């Protein structure tokens, strides 16, 4: 779905990365030119992308600061559409306790994406617990890499799913 709503160069650079090269906690932005392209992005209909999609794209570009600058004000305004991305921000910036708090909150409030990303869980609550286990595993790895890049690949998949979900909910179903 993202391929039909994003310019091909942005899609290719963000959605076709080798998952083994996606760090859990990036030290720098993946592609600084993409940051400007995302900032000025227009959807095919000429509209500005919804904030959850922008936050997801920044996350995929390892631009944690830009993703957080979108997600945090939304929560502060009582808009919870970007909570999943906010939780991912705190995994990526190694703020483990905060990441766990966000995923516990998501499990109680807005769980469709959480359940989708943790399909082995039988409920939103179980998916929240699975997310907390994932976060603890990421914390153990820290700035290293996981065995077989399993955690990095999982995190990359979750970021792509957050972008796809944002397109489905806020672009195609609006």
- pLDDT digit string (tens) for 109-165? 867 899 999 988 888 899 999 999 999 999 999 888 899 999 999 999 999 999 999
Long-range contacts of 132-140 (CB under 8 A, 24+ apart): 132/100, 132/103, 132/104, 135/91, 135/96, 135/99, 135/100, 135/103, 136/96, 136/100, 138/24, 138/91, 138/96, 139/94, 139/96
- The residue that leads in pLDDT, 148 or 78, is 148
pLDDT at 101: 95
Long-range (24+ apart) CB contacts under 8 A made by 113-119 are 113/84, 113/161, 113/162, 113/165, 114/84, 116/161, 116/165, 117/157, 117/158, 117/161
Instruction: Provide the pLDDT for residue 139.
Output: 97
Tell me how far apart the alpha carbons of residues 72 and 130 are, in angstroms, rounded to a whole number.
24
pTM of the complete model: 0.94
d(CA 50, CA 145): 32
Does 104 score more than 90 pLDDT? yes
Identify the band that residue 13 occupies on the pLDDT scale cut at 50, 70 and 90: very high
Cα three-residue angle 50-16-106, rounded to 5 degrees: 45
% of the chain beyond a pLDDT of 90: 78
* Ramachandran area for residue 118 (φ above 0: left; ψ -120 to 50: alpha; else beta): beta
Q: How confident is the model at residue 65 (pLDDT cuts 50, 70, 90)?
A: very high
The token duo for 145 is 């890499």
């Amino acid at each position: 779905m993202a391929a039909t709503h994003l310019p091909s160069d942005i899609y290719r650079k963000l959605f076709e990365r080798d998952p083994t090269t996606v760090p859990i906690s990036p030290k720098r932005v993946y592609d600084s030119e993409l940051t400007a392209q995302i900032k000025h992005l227009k959807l095919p209909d000429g509209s500005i992308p919804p904030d959850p999609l922008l936050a997801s794209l920044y996350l995929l570009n390892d631009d944690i600061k830009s993703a957080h600058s979108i997600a945090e004000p939304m929560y502060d305004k009582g808009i919870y559409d970007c909570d999943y991305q906010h939780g991912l921000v705190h995994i990526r910036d190694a703020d483990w306790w905060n990441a766990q708090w966000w995923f516990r909150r998501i499990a109680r409030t807005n769980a469709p994406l959480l359940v989708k990303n943790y399909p082995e869980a039988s409920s939103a609550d179980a998916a929240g617990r699975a997310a907390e286990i994932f976060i603890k595993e990421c914390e153990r790895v820290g700035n290293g890499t996981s065995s077989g890049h399993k955690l990095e690949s999982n995190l990359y998949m979750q970021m792509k799913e957050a972008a796809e979900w944002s397109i489905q909910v806020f672009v195609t179903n609006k």
